[in-house]
């Protein structure tokens, strides 16, 4: 069975003013794959992921997600974001709304489904993610781990075909990281296509289908976990792994 190619990133460049942040980056992601992108701070990995759903615009190159050409200015961003969910390092929950309202907002207004249907979906996802009791609470009263799980639920409520994670556990206290990783692990088991920027190498080894080491705007090495950890080819990869592990 040949998997569909979900994401095709083709020779992209990104400049912030004079700073060359992404230098001729190319890679592909297939349906159901979990890709973890790791690397030192400032390497551009966050920017890479943010380009995939159009949050950042690339300076050169092509990005395709399913049948949508992301780099085409005529492609509507609403269309893109209905297919792609994104989870941020800083959660970015809406502080003036309850967890439930945070989750229901986009399905109600963007997909225009009925309130009953939206509530149904929201409750199901809250249950799946394990925070049903927090439904009517405001973000300020939630712990970091709970906030991030609400953020994941909020992205899932749109029933996307691809989920992007930008360092989802980096802003969490250590004891809350596992609850979020558990949620992500379950999601991967269900077959969600995921691109994750993360430093959690244990999680990567266990869950990822492909690991990309990213540094200074380039993909340095790309391999399945077994090869990546046991037999890395590139000198820089080896150095990075020795520092992290």
Q: Which residues bind other proteins (CB under 8 A)?
A: 53, 55, 77-78, 80-82, 84-86, 88, 90-96, 105-106, 109-110, 154-155, 158
Contacts of 67 (CB under 8 A, 6+ apart): none
CB 65 within 8 A of CB 20: no
User: Rounded to 5, what percent of the chain is helix, strand, coil?
Assistant: 40, 25, 35
Looking at the Cβ atoms of 86 and 223, the one nearer to other proteins is 86
Nearer to other proteins, 63 or 219 (CB): 63
Closest distance to other proteins from the beta carbon of 154 (Å): 7
The Cα diameter of the chain in Å comes to: 55
Beta carbons within 10 angstroms of residue 148's beta carbon: 29
- Give the nearer residue to other proteins in terms of CB position, either 149 or 210: 149
Q: Min. distance of Cβ 111 from other proteins in angstroms? A: 8
User: With respect to other proteins, which residue has the nearer C-beta, 3 or 77?
Assistant: 77
What span, in angstroms and rounded, lies between the C-alpha atoms of 159 and 127? 15
Least separation in angstroms between CB 105 and other proteins: 6
Helix axes 144-156, 99-109, angle to 10 degrees: 20
Name every residue whose Cβ is closer than 8 Å to that of residue 134 and which is 6 or more positions away in sequence. 99, 126, 142, 146, 150
Shorter beta-carbon distance to other proteins: residue 38 or 155: 155
Tell the smallest beta-carbon distance from residue 89 to other proteins (Å): 9
């Amino acid at each position: 069975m040949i998997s569909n190619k979900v994401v095709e990133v083709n020779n992209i460049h990104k400049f912030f003013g004079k700073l060359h942040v992404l230098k001729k980056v190319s890679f592909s992601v297939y349906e159901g794959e979990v890709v973890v992108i790791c690397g030192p701070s400032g390497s551009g990995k966050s920017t890479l992921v943010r380009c995939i759903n159009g949050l950042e615009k690339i300076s050169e190159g092509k990005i395709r997600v399913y049948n949508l050409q992301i780099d085409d200015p005529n492609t509507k961003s609403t269309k893109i974001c209905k297919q792609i969910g994104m989870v941020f390092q800083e959660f970015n929950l809406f502080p003036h709304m309850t967890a439930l309202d945070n989750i229901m907002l986009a399905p109600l207004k963007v997909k225009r489904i009925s309130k009953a249907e939206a509530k149904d979906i929201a409750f199901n996802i809250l249950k799946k993610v394990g925070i049903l009791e927090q439904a009517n609470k405001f973000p300020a009263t939630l712990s970091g781990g709970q906030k991030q799980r609400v953020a994941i639920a909020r992205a899932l409520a749109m029933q996307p075909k691809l989920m992007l994670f930008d360092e989802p556990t980096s802003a969490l206290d250590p004891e809350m990281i596992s609850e979020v990783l558990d949620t992500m692990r379950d999601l991967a088991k269900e077959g969600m296509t995921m691109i994750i920027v993360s430093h959690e190498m244990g999680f990567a080894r266990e869950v990822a289908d492909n690991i990309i080491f990213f540094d200074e705007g380039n993909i340095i090495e790309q391999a399945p976990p077994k090869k990546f950890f046991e037999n890395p080819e590139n000198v820089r990869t080896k150095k990075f792994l020795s520092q992290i592990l």
